[in-house]
Structure 1
Amino acid sequence: MFLKNAVTRFFFWSFLVVFTAISAPVSAHPHAWIDLKTTPLFNDKGEIIGLKQLWLFDDFYSAYILQTLPKADDGLYEQKAIDELAKMNLQNLEEYKYFTVIKGGEKPLEHDAVTNYRSYVEGSRLAMEFDLPLKTPVDPKKVPVEYLVYDPIYYIEILHAKLDDAITLPKAGPCTYSLIPPSPAREQSLAAANLDRDDTAEYGFGVYFAEIVSLTCE
């Protein structure tokens, strides 16, 4: 009963509301941060069939969420509770396409619901992994492929972790990548800075602060 009630009560957006309520006063977006790792998934034909993601939530957000979860006798967080938490988060994120846009050429590609999800604690931070499969594989040798992961209202900043393995590709694969950092115009940066923590940015505003991963395949 505790687990069901806790997960229902603390699904993804509710986390963020509580996060802002207990954090120090701020007057600008974003209010939470995610370090991202991504891995494009390929089939035997060299077609892209999806995108594996790892989200590592910031320390403050992680600390608040983890204190709501039960622990086992060994002092570790109960994995069942963490798994249910990930399940509820991802169910809620489905409406927002998991904050992910994958493009073939200029056209956004349709994807299915996430698979192979899991959640765990890495150090003091909450982590969530999942695969996002495409409905139809795409050949990156024929169609340029790029992807973005971002919160449409920029409540959360999502950027690739500053690690060498933040983006990984098959070692024997035909592709390389380039990471294009966000480059919002001055007026967009000012608009974000002037948003109060209770304000909601226009849907789609977050794309101005999104990284673009562009794949080149031969």
Structure 2
Amino acid sequence: MLNLSVIRRLVRFAALAALVVSGAAAAHPHVWIRYTAHVQMQSKAVIAIAETWRFSEGFPVQLVGIDTLPDNGPLDAKQTAIFREQAFSSLAGAQYFTRLYADGEAQPLGDPTGFRVSIDHGKLVYTFTLPLKKPVDVTSHKVSLGIWDESFFVDYEPDGANAISIDGRAASTCTAKPFQDHAHPIFNGIVVPQATALSC
């Protein structure tokens, strides 16, 4: 299989993630996202995933009906609501590109909470939390987490070697270890994405 960094030179991110899911992003994708995720646990069970998405190139703000953004800092409640409605909520069908597996079976995620939008050094940033519909005990199952889109349109990159980490009230024995997820190739099967094994 081709190296992921090589594919990223060939593939561009869809201009607006919501349009990707709706099938309208056939134009010229050109935005990448770098992500981090904090796996929230109670003892040895995963209960939620808190994510940050940083858009690494120009996000077409005009597509969501906003003319201007602050130079830095959080968007106001009205602007945040517009982003949620126009460029975030429609990702629910794709589970917000978040893949939590237990023994190879995808786990259902609940509605996101705490959705916020901000500008950080000129980059658009989303933060939100996805609760699990049912906690997953990592001692009873082989559990892994990854964030990716299977198509050529959306390119998620982990923000650092330890982009996925354990947060919350996890047992001291719990660990998060990155690995190449050969069981779930993406980009039409030619790229192996990075995932993280969760164990205690």
Q: TM-score range by the shorter chain?
A: 0.7 to 0.9
Greater fraction of residues in strand: 2
Counting only pairs closer than 5 Å after superposition, residues 15-30 of structure 1 correspond to structure 2 as 17=25, 20=28
Gaps (5+ residues) in structure 1? 1-9, 21-29, 193-204
The 1:71–1:33 alpha-carbon spacing in structure 2 relative to 1, beyond 3 Å, is closer
Q: Is the 8 A contact 2:142 2:199 kept in 1?
A: yes
Residue aligning to 2:5: none
Which 4+ residue blocks in structure 1 deviate beyond 6 angstroms? 74-77
Letter in structure 2 aligned against 1:168: S
The number of residues matched between the two structures is 177
Calculate percent identity across the aligned residue pairs: 19
Larger radius of gyration: 1
Residue aligning to 1:65: 61
The 1:163–1:66 alpha-carbon spacing in structure 2 relative to 1, beyond 3 Å, is farther
Displacement of 1:129 in angstroms is: 1.0
Query: Does residue 139 in structure 1 map to residue 137 in structure 2?
Result: yes
Q: Deviations over 1:13-72 (max 9, x none)?
A: 17x84972xxxxxxxxx74311010111112x4311121111111222x3x327962448
Residue aligning to 2:105: 107
Q: Is the 8 A contact 2:44 2:171 kept in 1?
A: no
How far apart, in 2, do the equivalents of 1:86 and 1:114 lie? Answer: 10
The 1:126–1:108 alpha-carbon spacing in structure 2 relative to 1, beyond 3 Å, is same
Instruction: Tell me the TM-score normalised to structure 1 length.
Output: 0.67
How far apart, in 2, do the equivalents of 1:40 and 1:207 lie? Answer: 28
Q: What secondary structure sits across from 1:34 in the alignment?
A: strand
Letter in structure 2 aligned against 1:176: T
Residue aligning to 1:167: 164
Q: Is the 8 A contact 2:44 2:174 kept in 1?
A: no
Counting only pairs closer than 5 Å after superposition, residues 1-218 of structure 1 correspond to structure 2 as 12-13=18-19, 17=25, 20=28, 31-43=30-42, 45-60=43-58, 62=59, 64-65=60-61, 69-71=66-68, 78-79=75-76, 80-162=78-160, 166-170=163-167, 173-181=172-180, 205=188, 208-217=191-200
Letter in structure 2 aligned against 1:124: G
Gaps (5+ residues) in structure 2? 1-15
Q: Is the 8 A contact 2:32 2:56 kept in 1?
A: yes
Q: Deviations over 1:73-121 (max 9, x none)?
A: x866852213420343221101112111101112111111211111111
Letter in structure 2 aligned against 1:177: A
Displacement of 1:137 in angstroms is: 0.4
How far apart, in 2, do the equivalents of 1:163 and 1:88 lie? Answer: 32
Greater fraction of residues in helix: 1
Instruction: Tell me the TM-score normalised to structure 2 length.
Output: 0.72
How far apart, in 1, do the equivalents of 2:102 and 2:17 lie? Answer: 32
Letter in structure 1 aligned against 2:36: K
Q: What secondary structure sits across from 1:169 in the alignment?
A: strand
Displacement of 1:206 in angstroms is: 6.8
**What value does the CA root-mean-square deviation take over the aligned residues?**
3.4
Displacement of 1:207 in angstroms is: 8.5
